[in-house]
Amino acid sequence: MNQEKTAIGPWLFWSLITIICFGFGYINTNTYNVETMGANGYWAIPLAAVCTVPGLIAVYFLMKRFPNHNVIQQGTLIMGNFFGRTAGIIYLLFLLVYFIVFTTDVDILVHSYLLDSTPFYILCAIDLIITVYLSTRGIETISRIASFVILPLVTIVFLLFSFIIPEIRIDRLMPIFDFRFNFKSVGGPSILHIFYPMGLWALITPYCHGIHQKIPRMTLLAFLVLICLFLVDSIVTIGIYGHTYISQLPYPSIETFRTVEISYIFIEQAGLFGVIVLLASTIISSGFSLYAISLGMSQVLGLWDYKRFVWILTPLIFITNIHLAHPGFIKSLSHLFAKHGWMVIWGYPILLSILAFIFKKKGKTTHGS
Amino acid sequence: MNVRSKKSNELNIIQSVIQEAGNPADLRILPFGRELSVYLIYLNSLIPLEKYQDLIGHLPLDRPDREQSRLPMRHETFQADLGITEAVAKLLAGHLLIVKPGTSGIAALDVQGWLKRQPEEPQTERLIRGPREGFVESLDDNIGMIRRWIQDPNLKVEEIVLGRRTKTRVAVLYLDDVAQPRLATEVLRRLKAIHIDGVLESGYIEQLISDRRTSIFPLTQATERSDKAASAILEGRVVILVDKSPSSVIVPVTINEMYQTPEDYYFNFWIGSFLRLIRLLGNNLAVVLPGLYVALVAYHPELLPTQLALSIAGTSSRVPLPLIAEVLLLEIMVEVFREAGLRLPGAVGQTLGVVAGIVLGLSAVQAGLISPSTLAVVSITAIASFTGPNYSVDISWRLLKFIMLIAAAILGLYGIVLSGIAILVHAADLNSFGVSYLAPWAPLQWRTLKDGPFRAPFWARLYRPETWRPQDELRSGGTKKEDEH
Amino acid sequence: MVHKLWLFLALIFCLSGCWDQEEVSKRALVLAMGLDQAAEGKIKVSLQIPIVEELLIVPSGAAVSAKPFALVSAEGSSAFATVPGLNAKTQTSLFFGQIQTVFINTELARKGLTGPTDFLRRHPTVPPQAFLLLTERPAHEMLEVRLISKRIPSYSTVTFFHSNNKKDQVFPQRIWEFNRNIRSQTQDAFIPLIEYDTKEETFIIKGLGVFDGDRLAGILSGEETRMVGLLTGKTRNAYLSIPTERFGRITFRKVTAAPRTKIEHNGHQLLFRFHVNAQGFLVESTRGITRFTPEDLEWIQTKTALYLNREIKKAVQRLQALNSDILALGEKYRAHYPRKWDPANWKLLYSEAKIEVSVKFTVTRNGTML
């Protein structure tokens, strides 16, 4: 009892996947949704949830079959050492680049809205320091932080959105059931990106031993909360700005928050406080992502442990951050990942689960990392 | 053996004891009994035996036992046939040594002879409502106080001796059928692993058994209140009492306990919850307010209401110091005054508080050294920091305040967020005897949250906090509903 | 080793230099801004900056300057290009985060505001909730006026929008709403028109400037503005006064309306149907008539409904003539006819649409007389 147990409980699991999806998703979700579905962009959220289910089922299936291994180790067990490692490296590199693009986008947000005179590399460095500090603490600490922050975060976000509701014009959200998917343009599958971070769960499945039975319930609860959060975000943003104006905004949700005005009490521009709250979720998401990627790297290369890899990746991430720091470039990269990322994030677990089923592969009872 | 050789045998023993004890000036040797054949050896500073003159006559030297002796005694009252070294150890611990004719060993009789303070309410844990009883420096008295609260045979009292030179007695108390068995075992294991010259206060024990000794957060809870210690035992926690220290140590602890007082339970749950929320607000204000002030005024004035921004701008335009220097200077001066006030005699300390707070503050504002808004913020912070019921937590919060202040001075609101997260990460990484420090928030324990920021009424508190993983989860007795379970 | 690494990293944190730190007393807080058309196609930007020391009540009772704010102006080829010139005139750096109002001259507004107001939406510190006001006088003059009650003029312009009693004639347009509307294909912007009465030394809301795209199309009078307000349902405390033969002039207060708008497309023409359920408190009859019978009230209600019907129709037709869709009928059309919606076609359909108005008015209260 008195030694640290490397496992997470059901509530910690729920907090983790909810907060990382929210942290990753709030920045660009409205942009992609309206580009794909116009004024019905809010429908993209339940649609994305439904499309995410097969990938999650694949991860769950693999977890049950290989309870002590994560997706990287499962790859080597199913596809053999060479192909498994190669596929694992590609998978992790994809996640790493996605992570770098995301963190650069957030740093640009901070630079634009909060600290425009501070040199960009300083912001990157400091953000990375805190992210690295969090990620080196391990899954239990990260999930505890997520658990601590999630309830106040959800409350504040809902409260802030409720202040903007009087500004909504229902006509901007209509027609409600006029589905015209715009897959030909830059939108398309990019609506699925909201739930991509759930795929990171595949890297920490060994720490979910003991809660396998509760995972479907907790995942459903996470879906419900995330759908509510993003739906409210989408409905409010489209309701006040209209779908054509949103495409001109780099961070539509942030702009929505900035319109909040609570007159004649201490806070005049409540929106910036909302920005701070969202940034907190972003840092936790970054910390977890870096932890998961480092863990995978150490496993796929068979070297050291995740802490060393966090330190190895840090300078690489920092240098890439400062060189990618052009807003237009980052947005288009982000869009590219959003549009095609599902192929890797969900495609890889689905492929592994199919192969495991066909070749009847099952896990051994050796310990994971 | 003739009389002379018997006598010389006893004298040899006495000589050996004197030599082994280092011939202290307060050593007394009292011939006693018929024919003055029995010798009592004691240290006058520990046992003023003159006070017990009339009782000495009743000292049952033939069969001294608890029923017959009228002197105050403990359960290890009498030990016979001790060697020289053991006897000297007992002598130094305040025992009365008895050298009887016809025996080669020495007997030791425990009498409580040293000076003791009367129990009084602890200075730093005052309550409006509640018992005015706090621990004293006597371990036995303290154990006695706990026993008066918990009259349960399952209350275990385990004792060890720590400190090579001080030989300080340390007692570990817990309820055998409630506390996690491995918790008590772990506590004893950590205590026994302590190898130190001397233990002068329970603070030594706190730091030496703490899970993370470099953490700014206290991972054990210290209290001088006996009701608080008893309440902790009833929840399934372990209390450590240290001889000669009025402060007990309670383990494990979480951040949830750091803003709770016994008073929350002595009033009804509305008042208890309200008081707790005020304390939480006070704690948070004390940590965040100075940093928030600096961040808003120096980095994000757009967040201030216009009238306030103009007012602050106007009043601080004449101040020569930069804002961060002003705030840091004031905060440091407040800490200096606080510390100085502690050392001064009562009336002077109070006067100093008034002089420092009112006179100096106003003079500094009028002289243009500081701005009134900064003075107001720092004053609110200082007063809010006193809402914490736990002194060690208060000090931790005060240190955190400086961290957040510096972070705000460097990066504004973003700095506050980053430093807040860094502090949270550190707190989330902490365990206190296997219990997450952020429990019941992380991991979320819904049942225990009833005793979190709000205090649920007694009829809703059927279960002990699951944070401590008690064996007996149900608090039974008191209401019909509980009895039906 | 790890602890030394953390210490090193913490030092980076501490040595980062506080680039963004600038105390509020070291900034020139801009409370109001004026945009004027200058010569040769340039734009003149004027800023109202309070002199904070003059705003304080000095304990010693020394006399305070009569002018607690400074006005700085500069001209440039674009609005934000004037900032270097403005900065050169202030001792401290300009800070736009406390802007309350932006005055825009109507001459500039007629030429199009997409360019002049672009920086208002791009600059991260400009509060998106700041109000916009149109003025026929030069905007910089409006920033200089003396008010009997307030020492900073921009404060009093803001209170117009926070007062419930002014909600029938003052419809705020914040920067974020304006920016959305001038770039929207389904709704046009409007900005209240404000003037200054030199004799009474006070601001007056004169009407509502309506836009077609980003250009000022025309000014609605006070009465027209009130009617438009009833159509939007935002009116909370309007006043209404109508002449009647039987009861003299009847005045109502606390007039509110719950409008319903329907759009119908019969193939080649649009039909806008406005149905307004309005109500108000009867507060004045210039003939001093009391003891209104139910028939009297019915008559008053019908008369008032007819009056409103006529006036509302006139107001909407005025908007059509100005080609300004401030009622967001385009949004409604898009919502109900998504397949027929064509932004290129909308303004033509709008200007040629038929209008039908039906009003039902209810007298809720008679006041303290029967």
* Residue C179 structure tokens: 């920016």
User: pLDDT digits over B303-343, tens only?
Assistant: 888 888 888 998 888 888 889 999 999 999 888 888 887 77
* Residue C76 structure tokens: 């440039």
Confirm whether B431 is domain-assigned.
yes
User: Are both C108 and C206 inside the same structural domain?
Assistant: yes
User: Are both B147 and B102 inside the same structural domain?
Assistant: no
User: Is C8 in CB contact (< 8 Å) with chain A?
Assistant: no
* CB pairs B-C closer than 8 Å: 74
User: Are both B422 and B456 inside the same structural domain?
Assistant: no
Confirm whether C116 is domain-assigned.
yes
CB contact under 8 A, B421 and A284: yes
Contact list in C for residue A116 (CB cut-off 8 A) is 20, 124
Confirm whether B280 is domain-assigned.
yes
User: Are both C233 and C216 inside the same structural domain?
Assistant: no
User: Are both C229 and C306 inside the same structural domain?
Assistant: yes
Q: Nearest residue on chain A to B446, judged by CA atoms?
A: A11
Rounded percentage of chain B residues whose pLDDT exceeds 70: 86
- Cβ contact B228:B262 at 8 Å: yes
Q: Residue A316: which residues within 8 A CB-CB, separation 6 or more?
A: none
**ipTM of this model?**
0.90
Q: How far is CA B298 from CA B310, B415, C20, C50, in A?
A: 13, 13, 8, 18
Contact list in A for residue C334 (CB cut-off 8 A) is 39, 171
Structural domain count, chain B: 4
User: Are both B426 and B467 inside the same structural domain?
Assistant: no
The CATH number for C356's domain is: 3.30.300.210
User: Are both B412 and B462 inside the same structural domain?
Assistant: no
User: Are both C74 and C160 inside the same structural domain?
Assistant: yes
Say if residue A68's pLDDT is above 50.
Answer: yes
Provide the residue range defining the domain that includes B429.
276-435
CB contact under 8 A, B297 and C98: no
Say if residue A272's pLDDT is above 90.
Answer: no
User: Are both C98 and C244 inside the same structural domain?
Assistant: no
Confirm whether C6 is domain-assigned.
no
User: Are both B163 and B215 inside the same structural domain?
Assistant: yes
- Cβ contact B76:B90 at 8 Å: no
Q: How far apart are CA A138 and CA A132, in angstroms?
A: 11
Confirm whether C7 is domain-assigned.
no
User: Is A259 in CB contact (< 8 Å) with chain C?
Assistant: yes
CB contact under 8 A, A145 and B425: yes
Structural domain count, chain C: 2
User: Are both C274 and C330 inside the same structural domain?
Assistant: yes
Provide the residue range defining the domain that includes C246.
222-370
B294-307 residues labelled b (16+ CB within 10 A) or e (exposed): bbbbbbbbbbbbbe
pTM given for the model: 0.85
**Number of other CB atoms surrounding residue A273 within 10 Å:** 16
User: Are both C48 and C121 inside the same structural domain?
Assistant: yes
Q: How far apart are CA C108 and CA C46, in angstroms?
A: 14
User: Are both B295 and B416 inside the same structural domain?
Assistant: yes
Contact list in C for residue A175 (CB cut-off 8 A) is 335-336, 338
CB contact under 8 A, A137 and B425: yes
Contact list in C for residue A118 (CB cut-off 8 A) is 16-17, 19-20
For chain B, which chains pass the contact test of at least 3 CB pairs under 8 Å?
A, C
Query: Tokens 């190898």 identify what position?
Result: B195
Confirm whether B230 is domain-assigned.
yes
CB contact under 8 A, C25 and B298: no
Contact list in C for residue A125 (CB cut-off 8 A) is 12
User: Are both C92 and C230 inside the same structural domain?
Assistant: no
User: Are both C250 and C318 inside the same structural domain?
Assistant: yes
Say if residue C4's pLDDT is above 70.
Answer: no
* Residue A24 structure tokens: 């990753």
User: Are both C112 and C186 inside the same structural domain?
Assistant: yes
Contact list in A for residue B407 (CB cut-off 8 A) is none
**pLDDT confidence of A292, banded at 50, 70, 90?**
very high
Q: How far apart are CA C191 and CA C232, in angstroms?
A: 15
What does the pLDDT read at residue C57?
Answer: 46
User: Is B163 in CB contact (< 8 Å) with chain C?
Assistant: no
Instruction: Please tell me the distance in Å from A307's CA to the nearest CA on chain B.
Output: 15
User: Are both C73 and C167 inside the same structural domain?
Assistant: yes
Contact list in B for residue A268 (CB cut-off 8 A) is 303-306
Domain boundary among C204, C220, C236: C220
User: Are both C87 and C190 inside the same structural domain?
Assistant: yes
The alpha carbon of residue A25 and the mean position of all alpha carbons in its chain are separated, in whole angstroms, by 6
Domains of chain A: 10-358 (1.20.1740.10)
What does the pLDDT read at residue B477?
Answer: 53
Say if residue A186's pLDDT is above 60.
Answer: no
Confirm whether C253 is domain-assigned.
yes
User: Are both B319 and B459 inside the same structural domain?
Assistant: no
Say if residue B90's pLDDT is above 50.
Answer: yes
Instruction: Please tell me the distance in Å from A7's CA to the nearest CA on chain C.
Output: 25
Confirm whether C315 is domain-assigned.
yes
Question: Which of A264-273, A326-335, B299-308, C175-184 has the least mean pLDDT?
Answer: A264-273
User: Are both B12 and B100 inside the same structural domain?
Assistant: yes
Mean pLDDT of the region A5-21 = 85
* C95 → closest Cβ in B301, B322, B410: B301
- Cβ contact B198:B133 at 8 Å: no
Domain boundary among C197, C220, C243: C220
What does the pLDDT read at residue C106?
Answer: 94
User: pLDDT digits over B337-396, tens only?
Assistant: 888 877 777 666 666 766 777 778 888 888 888 899 999 999 999 888 888 777 777 888
User: Is A268 in CB contact (< 8 Å) with chain C?
Assistant: yes
Which of left, alpha, beta for C323 (phi over 0: left; psi -120 to 50: alpha)?
A: left
Query: Residue B255, exposed/middle/buried by CB under 10 A (0-12, 13-18, 19+)?
Result: buried
Instruction: Please tell me the distance in Å from A122's CA to the nearest CA on chain C.
Output: 7
Sheet containing C202-212, strands listed edge to edge, beginning at the edge strand earlier in sequence: C69-76, C43-50, C32-37, C101-105, C131-135, C190-197, C202-212, C215-220
* C335 → closest Cβ in A115, A133, A175: A175
User: Are both B288 and B404 inside the same structural domain?
Assistant: yes
User: Is A209 in CB contact (< 8 Å) with chain C?
Assistant: no
User: pLDDT digits over C64-109, tens only?
Assistant: 455 678 889 999 998 889 999 898 888 888 999 999 899 999 999 9
Confirm whether B403 is domain-assigned.
yes
Instruction: Please tell me the distance in Å from C41's CA to the nearest CA on chain B.
Output: 32
Confirm whether B268 is domain-assigned.
no
Average pLDDT of chain A, as a whole number: 87
What does the pLDDT read at residue B50?
Answer: 66
